[in-house]
Structure 1
Amino acid sequence: MKRKSSLILLTLVLALGSLLAACSNNNNAQSPGGTTTNEPAAAVDQVLNINLAAEPPTFDPAQAQDSQTNTVLKTLYEGLVRMGEDGKEQPGVAESWDVSEDGKTYTFHLRDTAKWSNGDPVTANDFVFAWQRVLDPSTAPAPPYAYQLYYIKNAEAYNLTGTEGYKGAKVTDFADVGVKAVDDHTLEVTLENATPYFLGLTSFYTYYPVHSSVKGNDKWAVNKDSMIVNGPYTLTDWTKGQQIEVSKNENYWDKDNIKLSKIHMSLVNSGATELASYQSGQLDYAGLPNGEIPTDQIPAVKQQLPDEFKVKGIASTYYYMFNVTEKPFDNVKIRKAFAMAINRQLIVDNVTLGGQLPAFGFVPPGIKGENEEFRNEHEDKFFTEDLTEAKKLLQEGMAEEGYTTLPPITLLYNSSEAHQKIALAVADMWKQNLGVDVQTQSQEWGVFLENRNQLNYQVARAGWSADYNDPMTFMDMWTTGNGNNDAGYANPEYDALIKQARTSADPKVRNEAFAKAEKLLVQDDMVIAPIYYYSNVSLTKQNVKGIALDFSGAIDFTRAYKTE
């Protein structure tokens, strides 16, 4: 696509930000507990200092839905399994598990040494209680990730029974849902269909156990003094807008392998400040997924700190989302025009500068397909950046809506220097390429999420990271009524394809269903405008070991430690 000199000049001026991302079936599988490192922590101050660019809205696993919260929850809670850096499941609260021959029934054997931070034993009933709380239709606000439990027999029916428009089977008694505490240390889970990635799902925060003390206490998840947790650390300080601190949990079953005494998290929404704090020694880690390194500084930082600078491709996608219920983006031709008028290569070359790849699909590289990566099996060229076609579609869409000029349009993003610079560059492209004036608006993270959830926007930035390694983690969120479907998208054909992929055990059938669904999402209906596939850009002090960054970009600080 021909580049206009004025656009190049503007994007070069704007070339500055880095980015935040919005996430196997073994029979008789058994693994030993805890992994002991061969490198003992030296006699140094075992306090890790990091930064969160946005404050987590809550520490309730049922309400969590963002990477900032995920990072902190990993320190406070542990599920039936936990994910290792290699992306494989490791024993968590469950020390072993059995899977039935048909792949539908999982029996988890909980370790008798698992305890809550107050000393109470973690039991199978704690998982039953937590999962019922997620699925209970009376839970308010409705947990956005309730659908992640729909793999469990009758879970979807229980969650949706009584809701407007639901026409499926009626289930009003949670006893009919496929989760049962056989005894204190045995949890039996029955699935609707064999799900190869279910074991890994149990490491996700929506599947965490919750202590029964939360009953009747609506404020428990925003008050450190009422939080009883079962993970490696406890919440010992939360000064709103300033800092979060977690300290080693002496009741954690694997406490001998937890080397840090504390993890201190500042709350600073400034990449420049974060980088300066790292360079001055106040931070031990800087960058994604919780903070950012200003991209105008990346070349210099890479040269000055080659042993501390890291870039890693991750299975995450940065995109703009259209509210398909709000004018003018209830018209698909207008949505397509806006998506086609963005020069993605220009953004990654001159604005983000972190090794990102232009995206023309939603499922990123790194996600498994039928035989190899899904992206290798299905090319992501669902649309092209064609200014002539974009202008034509815009005029056709405006004529269909009776517009002589478009109504005022605002592009919404959460407060971040990186998101601001991308938004300004894209708004300029829309001005230069389509002749459309678009205002950009920044909002604090919690407010931004709420406005997206309530469809109180026209166009908004978003990022999605894999919650497990299967295309489903990117595709099922767009089904009608899904808690993470912030576009207001509703297409029965799309829903049917996702249901087919969910219920089929045939990899080929699943793969083809995903491919057809992605085409609907990114081409036919153009619900989103993909921008790029993420890379993780970060800095880590050389004496810090054990930080785990998985394939999706999720980070785990729990087993980190410092050496001399």
Structure 2
Amino acid sequence: MFRPIQLFILLLLFLGCAREVDYKTLTIAYSADIRGFDPAFATDLRTGKIISLVYDNLVRFDADMNLAPAIAHNWSVNNTGRIYTFNIRNNVRFHDGTSLTINDITKSFHRILDPQTSSPQTWLLERITGAKDFMTGKADHVRGLQIANDSSLVVELDEAFAPFIQYLAMPAAAIINSNGIESLSTVPAGSGPWRLETWARDGELLFSRNKDYWDTPPITDNLRIRILSEVMTQSAEFETGSLDILEVPQGEIEYWRQYNYNQLEVEELNIWYIGMNCSRPPFDDLRLRQAMNYSIDREKIIHILLNGSAALANGPVPPQLLSEVTELRYEYNPSRAIQLLKEAGFGNSLQTEIYVAGGSGMFHVLEALQSDWAAVGITVEIKRSDWNVFKTAVREGKPDLYYLDWFADYPDGENFLYPLFYSTESMKNRNRFSDPDIDAIIIKIQRLPNNAERQRLIADANKLIVDAAPWVFLWHSKTIYLTQQWIKGFQPSPIFNANRYMNISKMAQE
């Protein structure tokens, strides 16, 4: 029997839709359009990816998740961990041909912090000395941004904060040309490796290689990003050769494995989880939270429902960011779950609700979890709502249980600890979890340089959080990419803004 995707592809081929390969243009697809080209408002993954194509930062992430020089050709940190000195390249030009200077850097940072900009990304720079005074109108500049000379910028922080240098590689910290600020919603003002040629909203974005790029320019002449909202359409367009790279939809992984395409698997820096409200009964009881973890067969769900495209989570921090891999804490053990429920006085009569955003695409997974919980006496009703209603409910602490995910902003275990589990981080610690010992470790992690002691503390915090079980720890997802046989050099990174498509070539097949 044909699958719908096969019938769709056959129809396209019958209609003569297979296209001649354009070896000068790399073509990929997004499922939805971007919001614009203003780094100050780059809060979603797609927009962040595009920002990384048309802008540069002081530093960047390479494909292996390491920090690499960008506008700053090198940098240093003093022994207090508070003062950074960046030495700036003198050969960086914006797309309009004007030279990028240190003034552009300080203006870009001031713009993020300026209350008139109303950027949601001020958290990236607010640790700079004087930033809060500037944000509240007590000062007309950020005194921690100091121009030492034409090629050196000094940035002083209120206190040592190890992740700060990684913050500077994020999309919102991109450096903009002040001459183009008024048009940023539709036209970028950057110095990146790709230049925008055209943008047809909800249609496609077309970029050309920046031949004057300070680093080696991209290999292909053009980059086309088509907006194709339907999974079936993306797959069919790849099959006909109209797309060069395909991010395989989860439900189609098995289908594509039978074909002779180049396949690349990326273990993403993320975590899928069930949050439990730890601040009130019944989930303020550790035994119940642990029972919720023991009672689900995650391996079965990954194998059958996720087509193997995930790895079991042993805590919030992905294994790539841990210096040591520990034994799995919560193996499938329904007998242990039943015992814990009895000890906690729940028996087999617990009833609760789980909130999920209606467009999550994972309802079949939730039904499997629901079935596993029911088998040990926990009745869970699934409540679906649109994203905005869901987000508000979770932020206000209404649900006992909720289904969510977290993707790394930067490749550091701290990014899976402080935002999600620090007791006073009210915006992201949605499960109201609080543990003074874990708080203290997280603060140490933020203060220490990236050394063996810091890595040990990240592992310690991860283990303590697993033991405390504020979440049902599910899995870290993987992404499967397919490339056409003529594509060479594609090396996808787990960090969303490290994929700049610069080293990819399209080679004619012999």
| Cα pair 1:81 1:91 within 8 Å, conserved | yes
Report the residue type matching 1:473 in the other structure: N
Q: Secondary structure at the match of 2:324?
A: helix
Equivalent residue, structure 1, for 2:175: 209
TM-score computed with the length of structure 2 as normaliser: 0.78
Give how far 1:516 is off.
4.3
| Cα pair 1:316 1:533 within 8 Å, conserved | yes
| Cα pair 1:522 1:529 within 8 Å, conserved | no
Give how far 1:108 is off.
2.0
Q: Does 1:489 align with 2:432?
A: yes
Equivalent residue, structure 2, for 1:37: none
Equivalent residue, structure 2, for 1:510: 454
- 1:266 counterpart (220, 226, 231): 226
Q: 96-105 or 473-482, which moves further after superposition?
A: 96-105
Equivalent residue, structure 2, for 1:360: 314
| Cα pair 1:431 1:438 within 8 Å, conserved | no
Give how far 1:286 is off.
1.1
Q: 1:431 to 1:118 in 2, by over 3 A?
A: farther
1:69-107: per-residue Cα shift (whole Å, max 9, x none)?
332222122111233324344332223434546654332
1:270-319: per-residue Cα shift (whole Å, max 9, x none)?
444332221121211111xxxx4334x434422322x5122243443333
Q: 1:267 to 1:513 in 2, by over 3 A?
A: same
What is the rounded CA distance, in whole Å, between the counterparts of 2:365 and 2:498 in structure 1? 24
Equivalent residue, structure 2, for 1:276: 236
Equivalent residue, structure 1, for 2:249: 293
> Alignment identity in percent?
20
Equivalent residue, structure 2, for 1:166: none
Give how far 1:346 is off.
0.9
Q: Does 1:374 align with 2:323?
A: yes
Give how far 1:181 is off.
2.9
Q: Does 1:229 align with 2:190?
A: yes
| Cα pair 2:26 2:244 within 8 Å, conserved | yes
1:354-393: per-residue Cα shift (whole Å, max 9, x none)?
35321121111222xxxxx4233xx264445443454566
1:307-357: per-residue Cα shift (whole Å, max 9, x none)?
512224344333333455798767666544433332111122212223532
Give how far 1:245 is off.
0.5
Q: Does 1:471 align with 2:413?
A: yes
Q: Does 1:498 align with 2:432?
A: no
1:8-46: per-residue Cα shift (whole Å, max 9, x none)?
xxxxxxxxxxxxxxxxxxxxxxxxxxxxxxxxxxx9542
1:505-555: per-residue Cα shift (whole Å, max 9, x none)?
48455345434433453332x333221133331101122233332354665
Q: Secondary structure at the match of 1:282?
A: coil
Give how far 1:459 is off.
0.6
Report the residue type matching 2:146 in the other structure: K
Q: Does 1:74 align with 2:52?
A: yes
What is the rounded CA distance, in whole Å, between the counterparts of 1:485 and 1:52 in structure 2? 27
| Cα pair 1:75 1:557 within 8 Å, conserved | yes
What is the rounded CA distance, in whole Å, between the counterparts of 1:92 and 1:50 in structure 2? 25
Q: 1:427 to 1:551 in 2, by over 3 A?
A: same
What is the rounded CA distance, in whole Å, between the counterparts of 1:542 and 1:341 in structure 2? 44
Alignment RMSD? 4.0
Q: 489-498 or 67-76, which moves further after superposition?
A: 489-498
Q: Secondary structure at the match of 1:375?
A: coil
| Cα pair 2:352 2:380 within 8 Å, conserved | no
Report the residue type matching 2:351 in the other structure: L
Q: Secondary structure at the match of 1:117?
A: coil
Q: Does 1:85 align with 2:32?
A: no
What is the rounded CA distance, in whole Å, between the counterparts of 2:274 and 2:253 in structure 1? 24
Q: Does 1:302 align with 2:244?
A: no
Give how far 1:556 is off.
0.9
What is the rounded CA distance, in whole Å, between the counterparts of 1:267 and 1:328 in structure 2? 45
| Cα pair 2:128 2:145 within 8 Å, conserved | yes
What is the rounded CA distance, in whole Å, between the counterparts of 1:431 and 1:60 in structure 2? 48
What is the rounded CA distance, in whole Å, between the counterparts of 2:102 and 2:64 in structure 1? 27
Q: Does 1:426 align with 2:369?
A: yes
What is the rounded CA distance, in whole Å, between the counterparts of 2:209 and 2:389 in structure 1? 32
Equivalence map 1:415-564=2 (5 Å): 415-416=360-361, 419-439=362-382, 441=384, 443=386, 458-465=401-408, 467-468=410-411, 470-478=412-420, 479-480=422-423, 482=425, 485=428, 487=430, 489=432, 491=434, 493=436, 494-505=438-449, 507=451, 509-524=453-468, 526-550=469-493, 552=495, 556-559=499-502, 560-564=504-508
Equivalent residue, structure 2, for 1:24: none
| Cα pair 2:49 2:496 within 8 Å, conserved | no
Q: Secondary structure at the match of 1:126?
A: helix
Q: Secondary structure at the match of 1:374?
A: coil
Q: Secondary structure at the match of 2:372?
A: helix
Number of positions where the alignment pairs a residue of Structure 1 with one of Structure 2:
484
What is the rounded CA distance, in whole Å, between the counterparts of 1:440 and 1:535 in structure 2? 27
Q: 1:505 to 1:260 in 2, by over 3 A?
A: closer
| Cα pair 2:266 2:493 within 8 Å, conserved | no
Q: Secondary structure at the match of 1:547?
A: coil
1:400-458: per-residue Cα shift (whole Å, max 9, x none)?
9xx97635433236444xx34333332333344444243263756x8877776676765
Report the residue type matching 1:53 in the other structure: S
- 1:95 counterpart (56, 73, 90): 73
Equivalent residue, structure 2, for 1:253: 213
User: Where in structure 1 are there 5+ consecutive unaligned residues?
Assistant: 1-42, 163-170, 368-372
Q: Secondary structure at the match of 1:229?
A: coil
Q: Secondary structure at the match of 1:366?
A: helix
Q: 351-360 or 455-464, which moves further after superposition?
A: 455-464
Q: Does 1:123 align with 2:79?
A: no
Give how far 1:503 is off.
1.7
